[in-house]
Every structure is written in C-alpha cells, then in structure tokens.
Structure 1
Amino acid sequence: MRILVVCGAGASSTFVAQRVRHAAHDRGLPYSAFAGTEQSLPIDLDAADVVLVGPHLAHALDRIERDATARGTTVVLLPADIFLDLDGTRTLQLVHDAVGGPSGTVPTASGATPP
C-alpha cells in the first residue's frame, strides 16, 4: 500500500510519513509512505492508495476528496494531535481503519494481529 501524507509545506508530513513507514516495517507490512504538499497533490495522487491530510488542511478536504475519489484513492483527515504519535502506530491504525480493516487490529505481514 502506498500512503501519501500531505501538509502545507512538506515538513510535518515528512515526519508523519517516516513514522508510519517505520510502524509498517516493524509489523512486516509492505507499505510505503511518502510526504507531499498541497501544491504537489495533483501529481502525487497518481502514486497513492491512501492520502493522509494534515489537520491544518481541513479547509481543502472537499477538494482533496473529490480529486482522490476520481482516482480511487482513500482520504483520511488526520486529527489535530497526530503529531504526538511518535511511533506511527496510531497513524497506521487510521490507515488500516480507512481501508476497511477491523478497528484496533492492524495486521502483520503474516495476517495476524500483534499483541
């Protein structure tokens, strides 16, 4: 799964992308996560399965969802406190929940949920 994290200038999205990438790696999941900006979104959407939108871009959510839906991409508005998720596990759970996984059960590569 390809996860795009979008913010205004790319700084905070870089941290969130790095953390969710590490959380997925720790679970053996073949996910990639990369950072983008609101301006690069039209190009970056083509390479994403899920878009995580920084809370400060809530004003642009309708437009982002419209553009993403046209490409079959899932959009998640991140909560305001997402930057406190230092190990990326909460963010990874938000991705998992958005794509239809059971809540609270991020899988591992073997399909089992971690303890």
Structure 2
Amino acid sequence: MSKNILLICGSGASSGFMAANMRKAVKKLGLDYKIKARSESELGDYANDIDALMVGPHLKAEFKGIQERVPDTVKVILMKADYYSLLDGKGAIEHLEQELND
C-alpha cells in the first residue's frame, strides 16, 4: 500500500534535498512511498493528504505545535540530526520505517 510522506523544514530547501535522497532510497528498497518536501508554512495545504510527517530537527522547538496541526491519523516524526545533517536518505527511511511499525 502506498504511503504519502511529507517532510517539512523552515523554507523547504534542506528538506527538498533530503526528500530527493529518500526517493532514491525507497526506489532501491522497493517501497511504495510518495515523498514530498515543503516549507513549514505550507503544512496546512497537505496535512489531510499524508500518512506521515517528518519534521526537520531544527524545528524541534515547534514540534508540539506542528503535531497539533495535523490529523491524529498522521504519524509525526522528528527527524534526527545525525542523518539529516548528512542528507542520508537511507537513514531517514530506516527511521521512518521504525516509527511506522511501532
């Protein structure tokens, strides 16, 4: 079953690079994920169409407020700085999979 994943960061730039690397990783892993990146300010436009929201680690202070802006059915994940800073798409997918299966 396909899953819609949204990544957000402050402006959408760093999450755009991360999303591209995650798309490469899911292709190699054979997973059916649709991954998009947007700025935090655009969240409301996408909140009802996603299965998971991955939040850039630099938005940690706003994490609770961001969680409150999406439906309860959306899994909200704070990305870890260790893979985010390296734009490690495979590391991000591994974290996503772990969170979705919890």
TM-score w.r.t. length of structure 2: 0.89
Larger strand proportion of the pair: 2
Gaps of 5+ in 2: none
Residue 12 of structure 1: which of 7, 11, 14 is its match? 14
**Number of paired residues?**
99
Q: Deviations over 1:69-95 (max 9, x none)?
A: x34100111112313143x11100111
| Higher alpha-carbon Rg | 1
Which residue does 1:22 correspond to in 2?
Answer: 24
4+ residue runs over 6 A deviation: none
Residue 60 of structure 1: which of 59, 62, 68 is its match? 62
- Higher-RCO chain (CA-CA 8 Å, sequence separation at least 6): 2
Larger helix proportion of the pair: 2
CA distance in 1, matches of 2:74, 2:54: 11
Which residue does 1:37 correspond to in 2?
Answer: 39
Which residue does 2:100 correspond to in 1?
Answer: 99
Whichever residue aligns with residue 55 of structure 1, its letter is P
Gaps of 5+ in 1: 102-115
Which residue does 1:75 correspond to in 2?
Answer: 76
Whichever residue aligns with residue 20 of structure 1, its letter is M
Q: Cα RMSD over matched residues?
A: 1.3
CA distance in 2, matches of 1:18, 1:29: 15
Tell whether the 8 Å contact from 2:17 to 2:87 is kept in structure 1 after alignment. no
Aligned-residue offset at 1:46: 1.6
Whichever residue aligns with residue 90 of structure 1, its letter is G
TM-score w.r.t. length of structure 1: 0.79
CA distance in 2, matches of 1:7, 1:84: 15
